[in-house]
Amino acid sequence: MDKLLITGNGPLQGDVRISGAKNAVLPILAATLLANNASTISNVPHLNDVTTTMALLGRLGCQLTMTDNMQVEVDPSSINDYTAAYELVRTMRASILVLGPLVARYGQAQVSLPGGCAIGARPVNLHIDGLRALGADIRIEDGYIRARAGRLKGARLALDTVTVTGTENLLMAATLARGETVIENAAREPEVVDLARYLTRMGAQISGAGTGTIHVQGVDELQGAPHRVVPDRIETGTFLVAAAATRGKVRVLDTVPENLTVVLDKLRESGASLTQGEDWVELDMNGERPRAVNITTAPFPDFPTDMQAQFCVLNAVAEGKSRIVETVFENRFMHISELMRMGAAMDIDGNTVTVNGVSRLKGAPVMATDLRASASLIVAALVADGETTVRRVYHIDRGYERIEEKFRQLGAQIEREPDN
């Protein structure tokens, strides 16, 4: 296991390139299972979650070919197994994304139930209920979701809660169902839209992706297709927050600014000057301390829960008092106690954190607890006096590509070492 040693050394400056989005590439790799033949997916980030997904596809019997320019070819025509085993699902909950494609294309799937995780209980009842409504017979046995089906039948699916991977699983399943499926209260995240774009290239008939109601007209079969994964809006936001917290000037390249409008608005409100083009955005704090901003997380297009931890750090060193309300997950404040150990003045009450900005944080040994919490600890370390050690960085490697290299490029003093 590795640790990161970080010494805060002033404003970040320079350019950084954004990788393909983790939360888009995972459903897209799962969707390759729906086709009769191979798909080539490009702009695939080198992440542990991608490696886990490829291991899972390999175990199902897919042929995988990787090239060194971040391109992966998946040929599902040799599939001979339909199980996502506990060891894989345990390390990556998003393994649940093979459930919809396997049931729709092969009429069977066994996927381990993911269980709770560091940020909340995270049930998958809506995935299961939706697939049942499409005609799958699903039993929960021995910790596994065991599904069987003939050809699925289109249905009207009204989701009680907005769920990103739930919408994706049902969307993928509906592409091969007989007749029309309507997904109401669908997630509108850009990653759902990117998945729909890929499915459409494969021959699926989908309208309304990116709105709250998605219509799918089922087709008999899908063909493999090329697809380039959308840039990661959360990685983009993380670098911009780091730039703002350190009072720096950073240009983020190969991104889609329109996918993080609310985050950019909040950065502006905190005092940042932003300039942007179609695929880049530059943030300049003009050397000033950020101002505190209130945040309430909610599904897209509102403020993303995946940026909440990073904004906790921005507010920790900002001028003034702020409130951060987490409405998506019930337990996503694990970073708060670590930030308080670094000198942040914060108070948690239920799903709300009150923050009183302090002018500096102090370096300390801290522990990463989940992916975005870990990213927030790196940002905190960059604005702290002295050295911070971030342990359990495997959380970060699940979702950020070469994070220490990218931060080093912006002038940060950050080293990775084995943690014995």
Active site residues: 117
Length of the chain: 420
Cβ proximity to ligand EPU, 8 vs 299, nearer residue:
299
CB closer to ligand EPU, 8 vs 399: 399
| Cβ neighbours of residue 45 closer than 8 Å, sequence gap 6 or more | 19, 20, 21, 22, 25, 70, 229, 232, 401
Segment 344 to 373, residues that bind ligand EPU, using CB under 6 A? 371-372
Q: Is 166 in the site for ligand EPU (CB under 6 A)?
A: yes
| Interface with ligand EPU: number of residues (CB under 6 A) | 24
147 φ/ψ angles, rounded to the nearest 5 degrees = -120, 140
Could you tell me which stretch among 22-30, 216-224, 342-350, 388-396 binds ligand EPU (CB under 6 A)?
22-30
Instruction: Pinpoint the alpha helices (H) of 61-98.
Output: 86-91
Window 112 to 151, contacts with ligand EPU (CB under 6 A): 120-127
Contact pick of 35, 94, 131, 174 for ligand EPU (by CB under 6 A): 94
Identify the residue among 40, 53, 112, 165 touching ligand EPU (CB under 6 A).
Answer: 165
Which residues contact residue 223 at a Cβ distance below 8 angstroms, ignoring those fewer than 6 apart?
Answer: 35, 36, 37, 202, 203
Output 355 or 375, the one with its CB closest to ligand EPU.
375
State the Cα–Cα distance between residues 12 and 382, nearest whole angstrom.
9
Q: Is residue 23 a contact residue for ligand EPU (CB under 6 A)?
A: yes
Beta carbon nearer to ligand EPU, 113 or 182: 113
Nearest to 280 by CA among 296, 264, 301: 264
| Phi and psi, residue 184, nearest 5° | -100, 150
The neighbour count for residue 414, using CB atoms within 10 Å, is 22
Site string for ligand EPU, 282-321 (x = CB under 6 A): -----------------------xx---------------
Write down the least CB distance from residue 398 to ligand EPU, Å: 8
Q: CA-based angle 344:6:400, to the nearest 5?
A: 95
Which residues here bind ligand EPU, judged by CB under 6 A? 22-23, 26, 94, 120-127, 161, 163-166, 305-306, 328-329, 371-372, 399
